[in-house]
Amino acid sequence: MTIARLRPHLTATLALALPLTGSHVARMAIGVTDTVMIGWYGVDELASVVLATSMWFVLFMLGSGFGIGVMGVIATAVARGDDTETRRATRMALWLSTLYAVLILPVLWFSETILLFLGQRPEVAGFAQEYLRIMCFAMAPALWGLTINSFLASLGRPNIVMLITVAGIPLNMVLNWALIFGNLGAPELGVVGSALASLIVNVAQCLMLVACAASLKIARPYNLFRRFWNPDWAALRAILILGAPIGLTLVAETGMFVGTNVMMGWFGPRELAAHGIALQLASLAFMVHLGLANAVTIRVGTAWGRHDVPAMGDAGRAAIALSLMFSTITIVVFLTASEWLASQYLDLTDPQAPAIIALVGGLMIYAAMFQFADGMQVIALGMLRGLQDTRAPMFFAIFSYWLIGLPCAYLLAFRVGVGPGGLWLGLLSGLACAAVLLLTRFWRGQARGWTDTPGPR
């Protein structure tokens, strides 16, 4: 394949991925703001927010399959000019997101019991439950935002989502400053203040996205919210069948990371705090790959809707090339600036800060090691979601993350004696296995021509 043939795909993918990546980075930056500012408040509070946000994120990922999965459906329907399918699929994804948020509320409300069962210290588990009892009400707005993100991005308006998400960063910073530390006349609420800030931002962003989906010129013809209460059971079933495996796939991956959080907590609060900082830095880099994965989902789905098999492969190659380039940059940054990055999360007058910064520096070496594998596995997932291929990836993820990644992490950290770094080597093994299996599935399907009719598989 020539560079000239790939160039338009690189340009198109990058043009779509940049605002999607900006949205993900901005959304992640809100979480980083919470972690940084609560880190200035206290080490125990930081450890509790690491656990709480990890637990919330796992449950968010489980429910996000509907909002993520519908992206490929919408892209294919738009390519075919099927406005009815676009509206039906988006509405039912919103229905399912709402139902899911209601069902998992008790899990978040009684999270302290779960964390104590997992061996966490009582004071850390208590702070975490305080955070989650507020953030449980942010689940529905966050999932709605994800679904509307897919709707607007598939219509070619990802910039709107990015601008709304970016606007949440300064709002979250001001609210955190006021509610965590008791500034601007607000009470000093600590962990609770951080949760309240995040809840307010999530609700505000969701309302703005709903307004855009209802009023933008390109979106108005779909009448997304007119007679919204009318069910469409066939579409709901299709999105459920498509989205549930995606949610389970994401939970398999995020569950591996949360499993390492729990195991890191067995070493102590300093190690857990350092792990949380290193993991959040790695997650920020991952947002770029996630934006590329969303872009390739839309481009592959669009090509599939037009029955353009060569374009599917070219879209995949373009996303892989861009992911590899960014991974190389990330590795250099992680290896040269890790301690400076870690210092931004902590009050340097805290006597524990130097030890935590040193721990972060060691862990970032491992974070650099898995950049290529992490990027490749999510790009492959994006390509397969564009083809509405979700069931086999779910089994690949469960095998890679729970039967390879987590056992390797435990054995290396606690049996072989590698220590905290062993947990990160386990992460690398799971991500690498998933990348190989998922990429192999896509390219084998590409060789066969992906002649199947669009629909969940």
pLDDT digits (tens, 9 = 90+) for 182-210: 898 888 888 889 999 999 999 999 999 99
Query: Residue 413: CB partners within 8 Å, gap ≥ 6?
Result: 263, 419, 420, 421, 422, 423, 426
CA gap 354, 147 in Å, rounded: 42
Predicted confidence band of residue 109 (pLDDT cuts 50, 70, 90): very high
pLDDT in tens, 407-432: 999 999 999 988 888 999 999 999 99
Question: Which whole-number Å values give the CA distances from 444 to 103, 296, 331, in the listed order?
Answer: 38, 17, 30
Nearest one of 31, 34, 51 to 272, comparing CA atoms: 51
Q: Find out whether 243 and 93 touch, Cβ atoms under 8 Å.
A: yes
Predicted confidence band of residue 379 (pLDDT cuts 50, 70, 90): very high
Question: Which whole-number Å values give the CA distances from 455 to 243, 379, 402, 438, in the listed order?
Answer: 12, 20, 28, 19
Dihedral sign for Cα 234, 236, 239, 245, please: negative
Please say if the pLDDT value at position 456 is more than 60: no
Q: Find out whether 383 and 296 touch, Cβ atoms under 8 Å.
A: yes
pTM (predicted TM-score)? 0.77
Q: What is the pLDDT of residue 144?
A: 95
Please say if the pLDDT value at position 33 is more than 90: no
Average pLDDT across the chain, whole number: 86
User: What single letter denotes the amino acid at residue 9?
Assistant: H
Question: Where does residue 415 rank: exposed (0-12), middle (13-18), buried (19+ CB within 10 A)?
Answer: exposed
Predicted confidence band of residue 386 (pLDDT cuts 50, 70, 90): confident
Q: Find out whether 147 and 90 touch, Cβ atoms under 8 Å.
A: yes
pLDDT in tens, 294-329: 899 988 888 888 888 888 888 889 999 999 999 999
Predicted confidence band of residue 454 (pLDDT cuts 50, 70, 90): very low
* Mean pLDDT within 383-395: 89
pLDDT in tens, 204-255: 999 999 999 999 888 888 888 888 888 888 888 989 898 889 888 888 887 8
> To the nearest whole percent, how much of the chain has pLDDT over 70?
96
Q: What is the pLDDT of residue 453?
A: 46
**Structure tokens given for 126:** 């208590």
Nearest one of 217, 225, 76 to 148, comparing CA atoms: 225
Which residue in the block uniquely carries the two structure tokens 């560079």?
3
Domain ranges of the chain: 3-448
Q: What is the pLDDT of residue 206?
A: 93
Task: Transcribe 293-355 into DSSP letters.
Answer: HHHHHHHHHHHHHTT-HHHHHHHHHHHHHHHHHHHHHHHHHHHHHHHHHHHTTS-TTSTTHHH
Q: What is the pLDDT of residue 98?
A: 95
pLDDT in tens, 119-168: 777 888 888 889 999 999 999 999 999 999 889 988 888 888 888 888 88
Q: What is the pLDDT of residue 116?
A: 85
Dihedral sign for Cα 91, 95, 100, 101, please: positive
Phi/psi zone of residue 182: left (φ > 0), alpha (ψ -120 to 50 degrees), beta? left
Q: What is the pLDDT of residue 445?
A: 72
Q: What is the pLDDT of residue 78?
A: 83
Contacts 24+ apart (CB under 8 A), 214-220: 216/152, 216/157, 216/160, 218/155, 218/156, 218/157, 219/151, 219/152, 219/155, 219/157
